[in-house]
Amino acid sequence: MQGLAWSEICYLFCCPPFPSRIAAKLAFLPPSPTYSFQPSPDATSHSLHLTERSEWQYTQRELEGIEVFTTRSRRNNTIACMYVRCSDDPHYTILFSHGNAVDIGQMSSFYVGLGSRINCNIMSYDYSGYGASSGAPNEKNMYADIEAAWNALRKRYGISPESVIFYGQSIGTVPTVDLASRFEVAAVILHSPLMSGMRVAFPSTKRTWCWDPFPSIDKISKVQSPVLVIHGTEDDVIDLSHGMAMYERAPNTVDPLWVEGAGHNDVELYGQYLDRLRKFIQEIKHLGQERSSRQSANGQAPSEGVTSNS
């Protein structure tokens, strides 16, 4: 087994790392819910109720601007969704997949702040077993969860794929890469991505084993959308080498952002983070205009922006 130390080989044979167990150990740390959905009197909609643990930083006005609802995944779980309307004329809508130890209640203030600063609306969701979503957190559910959110975003709000950016942070890069390998959108942002579960647990791993969960490194080559990779140079949870490998393997990348001195949970605190996102939005707008011009010159109809390998 090239790439594994003898002690690691012994561990693999003595304690077989079943994918679900690796996934649970590495990724799934759902917090106690920091929010609830309150049904309207006529039961046709919901309002968002945040607990103190959500650390909401804005006013009631911004809170009332957040729309919440549930949808159903193909694995029959109820998925809690949040749509943060930051602009009436947004550049794009971001489908955001958050990290492992938070829920959308805790992320709500961040979404308002981020969307307002880069003029994008943000749609997010909780994985099965997180927040108000039913079921249990596992890898297969995670892929079904983002697909349910993606379908809801398109059908409920009528947003075309070329107006959507997929954004994954940490473990959220796993469903993001999976979905992006099957559907082409305006762009993809991978924030502190991991190559695979085994490569996090055993850094010397050089290949993808059959039991390896979250094999994003094997899917990234199928992502046709422009990809921006962001990673802190001092990340001690998911090493910078993961972000660099994902950047090198993706076929359509822009200049990455390696945030000098940043760890796993503080990249957003560095000024270059927002600067790079704003620049990236301008880059993909330009790329979209070039694509439309080429299609017009060739007499082609505007692209649907969606390709499915499923």
- pLDDT for residue 14: 42
The closest alpha carbon to 179, from 129, 240, 123, 112, belongs to 123
* Residue scoring higher pLDDT (41 or 138): 138
Amino acid at 21: R
Average pLDDT, the chain: 88
Share of the chain above pLDDT 70, in %: 86
> Which residues, in sequence order, are bridge partners of residue 187?
165
Each residue of 197-224: pLDDT tens digit? 888 877 777 777 677 789 999 999 999 9
| CA–CA distances in Å: residue 86 to residues 83, 120, 125, 187, 224 | 9, 6, 17, 19, 28
Q: Domain ranges in the chain?
A: 8-297
The distance in angstroms from the start CA to the end CA of the chain is 32
126 is catalytic: no
Query: What is the Cα–Cα distance from 298 to 217, expressed in whole angstroms?
Result: 35
- pLDDT at residue 275 above 50? yes
60's tokens = 């009631």
Among candidate residues 170, 192, 196, 216, the one labeled active-site is: 170
Average pLDDT over residues 257-269: 97
- The three-point CA angle 263-105-128 to 5° equals 90
280's tokens = 């990236």
Amino acid at 284: I
Task: Say which residue the tokens 């190559």 belong to.
Answer: 195
CATH for 8-297?
A: 3.40.50.1820
Among candidate residues 163, 235, 239, 242, the one labeled active-site is: 235
47 is catalytic: no
231 is catalytic: no
SS3 letters for the chain?
CCCCCHHHHHHHHHCCCCHHHHHHHHCCCCCCCCEEEEECCCCCCEEEEECHHHCCCCCHHHHHCEEEEEEECCCCCEEEEEEECCCCCCCEEEEEECCCCCCHHHHHHHHHHHHHHHCEEEEEECCCCCCCCCCCCCHHHHHHHHHHHHHHHHHHHCCCHHHEEEEEEHHHHHHHHHHHCCCCCCEEEEECCCCCHHHHHCCCCCCCCCCCCCCHHHCHHHCCCCEEEEEECCCCCCCHHHHHHHHHHCCCECCCEEECCCCCCCHHHCHHHHHHHHHHHHHHHHHHHHHHHHHHHCCCCCCCCCCCCC
Each residue of 25-41: pLDDT tens digit? 556 899 999 999 998 88
- pLDDT for residue 4: 43
CB contact at 8 A, 211 and 199? no
> Which residues, in sequence order, are bridge partners of residue 253?
227
Among candidate residues 264, 266, 292, 303, the one labeled active-site is: 264
HSE at residue 77, side-chain half, CA atoms within 13 A, is 28
- pLDDT for residue 300: 62
